[in-house]
Structures are given as C-alpha cells and as structure tokens.
Amino acid sequence: RPITLKANNRTKVYGETLAMGTTDYSIAAGSLVNGNTITGVTLASAGSAATATVTTPGPVYPISISAATGSGLDNYTISYDNTATLTITTRPITVTVKTGQFKYCGQSNPVYDYTYTVSGNGVGLASGDAFAGSLTRVAGESVGNFDILQADLSIVAGSIDKTGNYKITYQSAPFEIKGVTIDASASGNSYPLGSPAKVSATVYASNGTTPVSGVLVTFTLTTTGGGVAKTITATSNSAGVAESLPFTGLTVNLYKVVATSGCENSIPAYLSVYDPNAGFVTGGGWIMSPLYAYAADPTLTGKANFGFNAQYKKGSNAVDGNTEFQFTAGNLNFKSSNYSAGTLVISGAKATFRGTGTINGTGTYSFMVSGIDGTVTGGGGVDKFRIKIWGSNGVVYDNNMGNDENGVPTTALGGGSIVIHDNSKKTVTAARVDNLNVEVVPIALKAYPNPSTNKFTVNVQSSNREEKIQVRVMDLNGRVVEMFNNLSANQTLQIGSNYRPGMYIVEMIQGNERKQLKLIKQAN
C-alpha cells in the first residue's frame, strides 16, 4: 500500500539550535490501515545548527525526512517528500546610545558609547558574534547638539560580517559640544628683539572657573594691518593651560594674539617685540576728539591736548617717560604713573607703548599710546595720535574706538608733532614733557608778523649745518598747503600771501628734530 511522508515546515531565529525531533511530519498521501502505526522518522536540516545564517546560503534550508519506524510498515511502500523547509529569521537586537555624552569645543571626538540587548531567548548577540566598527555623529564643531549615528557599526564573527543575520533597532541620542572661555592674557608679554617668545592661554568651561584639558588651541599673531605673522597650536593640559614651545623669527612690532578653540575666540592680547636700541619717541600737540571716543558721553567732541615722551633706560627693558592727555569737554585729565616694561615698540613710522595712570588725580587705569611720525618713511606725511584708556569697568576713552590696539592710528594732529628719534643719528637730543609742551632743541623757527593780513617772513634756525631742512605748512585738518625742501640752516622764506584767512601750522623738520608754530592769517 503506497504512503507518502513529508516533514512539516519549520522556522527558527538565527543563532538558536533547533532540535528536529522525530515526529514533526505529516502523511502527505495515502493512509495507514488496520491499526498500523508510524512511531517516528528521521528529520535533518543544515539550518538547524546555531551557525546557520539568514544570509547566503540561507535563509531557507531544506528539511529531509527518512527512515520511518513503526508497526506493520512492511505492508507499505513508503515515499518521502523532501520539499519541506526550515526558514531562519533575523535575530532582534537593540543598540541604545548612552545619553549625556559630550565634549568641550576644541577637544577631539571621543569613542561614542552604547549598550545593546542582553543575549538570551533569541535576542541579543548570538554566541561567537561581536560588534565591530563605531558610531559617528552629524558633522559640526560649533556649540550645540549633534545626533549620534549608527554609521559603520556592524556585527561580526572573526572576519566574517554577520550583520545581515540581525534586525538592529537603533536608538540614537544627541552628542553635545559645550562652549569654553579662553583667557589669552598670559600671551601679553614683551620680548627683546631676537629673544625666544612664547604664547599661552588658559581654557575654562563656560562657567569661567573649571579648567578644561585636551583642547587644541590655535594662536594667531597679526601685525598692524591684520597680516598674519605666525600661527601656532598647543593643547591644554590638566590645568587648562595651552602653551607653545619657545619660538623665534618675530620682528619689532606689536602683535595682536588671538587664541581660538575652533568655535570660541579669546579677547585679544598684545605681544610686543622691541629693540631697546631703536630710539625714543616724543610728542605734543592737540587733536580734535571724534564722536564715540569718550565712553561716558559718545556725543562729545572737541579739542584734546596731549604730550608724551618714552624711551628705554640704558641697559634695561624699563621704559621711562611721562604721558598727559586732557579732554576738556569730558573733564578728563589723564596722567601716567608708570610705563610697562618692554612695551615701547618703534617700528618704522609707528611707536607704541603702554602703562598705568590716573584720571583727575585718582584711580588706577591702564593706557596705550600709539603715534605716527609722518616724516618717517611709511608715515604718509601726516602725524597721527591715538590714546586708549581703560579701567575695571571698561574703556574710558579711545579716539580710535573699536580698532585693534596694534592698528594704525587714524586721528591726525591738529597742531604739534610726533617725533621718532633714531639713536643712530648724531643729532638726537634730549626731550621732555612738561605741562603738555614738548621741547626739542637745538633748532628754532620764527615767523613775523604773526598775525598777518598779507604774508609771513619765516626764519629757520639750526646749529646743524650739514642736514637739509624741510618746511611744510598745514591747515587744521592736517592737509599740507605748501612745502619747501632742501633748505639750509638760517634761511628765510616769504609765505602766505595767497592763504585764505584762518589758522595754519608751519613745521620745520631737520633730521629727527622738529619745531612748529601757529600762523594766523587775517582778512584785509
């Protein structure tokens, strides 16, 4: 009697072993009679092993059936239908990104942490499998939150990729980049020309007190005009300090130093490289104080008088001299108390120095003076002056408000002069500041009649008969009205017959020496 036996279709989860048993079958054709029985069959499938995969050659594996046993089976012709299958299903696993992960701006990205489903009962990692690869995150280095992504996170057994055998549920979480504050004030030092310099900054968390390590800090040194002189990197240590190795190659200048972590910048510091043998600077006269210069009342303008001298003490980086500045409209009378060591920087036509002083005889205020000698190459023919005064509550006065401290002064003198004295010149003489009047000898300048309704007779006097003399006449806006070159000592000029009524400044220049007079042209 014919009979056909067929195994039942089966399923299992990847990574689990399936016991095939002996009874999971059915009679597909024919029937047993007279009380005959089948007590068992042999069932087999390659898919029953824990290592059988969903991926090729899976997920479907054939089930073979054979060797039926029972009673009265000699009376049957038994056929076996081997079309039954065992299907492997993916193994569920959940990857959960840990919350609260962060770094500080400028730190390297960490290895992003995660947890996953504990193995057992057909879930989690199968025996012998493990995670490989890593998570990543949405690109960006600004302060804020960035989603952590699954990226190339995979599951392997040795070198064999097993990811296709799993159903991975990925639960993301944000990664935070926290802000920092950077204090670069430690970079504001002075160095003699040719000496090694270094820059340093301290990195804090946003609270301003907790030091942050591992932050890559980039220091950018720029000169007057914004040209980049040097870029240096350093990484903050456990105290939050990022400090460069000593470096050389800087020329005489006042350098603006900005430290950045990539998304946060420091307040600028100023590093000076000075030559104590470069000379000294004197200045005296007045400017028209512009709008916004006086912080307490930005609308105030008017005449402001100044006088200063600054030079290095012999064999020292100590700067000697005095500075006074008076802005009558703002009732501001500043007088220096001392100059900061190593801060007198003379570079071409520009001189800068800084120190501390008082306002109206009280308090302690920091100040910075910057001046241009218009007669020096690169000076542009016009003397210019800037003073910035600040205290614990911010800027008090700055006639170039908002400009970098190493920027070029923009306020032309209304009267007076700024002179950079070159120590290499034999004709350099002493200078002093006294009640805002600068006295430089041994040259003299005389004009008569003054005032005049017609012309002026100008006499230039000097004990130096070797160097030629230049005389220039300027209006109160600093514009040159008339200029005479290659004059000799004790020469006389006739000027002014075609000048419009008003006030003019006549200036005599010989080498590093200057003298000025006011001329008043009256209407007929």
CATH number reported for the structural domain that contains residue 453 in this entry: 2.60.40.1930
The answer to whether residues 214 and 294 belong to one domain is no
Query: How many domains does the chain contain in total?
Result: 5
CATH number of 228's domain: 2.60.40.380
The answer to whether residues 404 and 462 belong to one domain is no
Amino acid at 40: G
At 434 the pLDDT is 44
The answer to whether residues 283 and 395 belong to one domain is yes
User: Within a domain: residue 118?
Assistant: yes
At 424 the pLDDT is 57
Let me know if 357 is exposed, middle or buried by CB neighbors in 10 A (0-12, 13-18, 19+). Answer: buried
Asked whether 282 and 301 are in contact (CB, 8 A), the reply is: no
User: Within a domain: residue 429?
Assistant: no
String of DSSP letters for 1-44: -EEEEEEPPEEEETT------S--EEEEES---TT-EEEEEEEE
Can you give the residue range of the structural domain that contains 375?
A: 279-422
* Cα dihedral value 210, 255, 421, 517, nearest 10: -90
At 435 the pLDDT is 45
User: Within a domain: residue 7?
Assistant: yes
User: Within a domain: residue 437?
Assistant: no
How far does Cα 316 stand from its chain's mean position?
A: 34
The answer to whether residues 84 and 26 belong to one domain is yes
User: Within a domain: residue 416?
Assistant: yes
At 200 the pLDDT is 96
Strands 136-137 and 91-97: unpaired
User: Within a domain: residue 434?
Assistant: no
Which of residues 133, 156, 178 is at a domain's end? 178
CATH number of 117's domain: 3.10.430
The answer to whether residues 80 and 100 belong to one domain is no
The answer to whether residues 264 and 293 belong to one domain is no
The answer to whether residues 206 and 334 belong to one domain is no
- The angle at the Cα of 490, spanning 487 to 491, to the nearest 5 degrees, equals 45
The answer to whether residues 268 and 296 belong to one domain is no
At 423 the pLDDT is 66
Q: How far apart are CA 312 and CA 159, in angstroms?
A: 72
The answer to whether residues 361 and 389 belong to one domain is yes
Q: How far apart are CA 182 and CA 330, in angstroms?
A: 35
User: Within a domain: residue 509?
Assistant: yes
At 432 the pLDDT is 40
Of 116, 113, 110, 109, the closest CA to residue 99 belongs to 113
Q: How far apart are CA 472 and CA 459, in angstroms?
A: 13
Question: How many other β-carbons are positioned within 10 Å of the β-carbon of residue 254?
Answer: 26
User: Within a domain: residue 259?
Assistant: yes
At 442 the pLDDT is 60
Which of residues 66, 89, 112 is at a domain's end? 89
> What are the mean pLDDT values of the chain's consecutive 10-residue runs (524 residues total)?
96 96 95 95 96 95 96 95 97 97 96 94 94 95 95 94 96 96 91 93 93 97 88 96 95 92 89 87 90 94 91 89 92 95 93 96 96 90 95 95 92 88 52 42 76 86 83 80 88 89 86 82 82
The answer to whether residues 405 and 308 belong to one domain is yes
The answer to whether residues 378 and 314 belong to one domain is yes
The answer to whether residues 102 and 68 belong to one domain is no
Which of residues 47, 71, 89 is at a domain's end? 89
Helix count (H) and strand count (E) of the chain? Answer: 0, 45
Give 506's Cβ-side CA count (13 Å radius).
Answer: 25
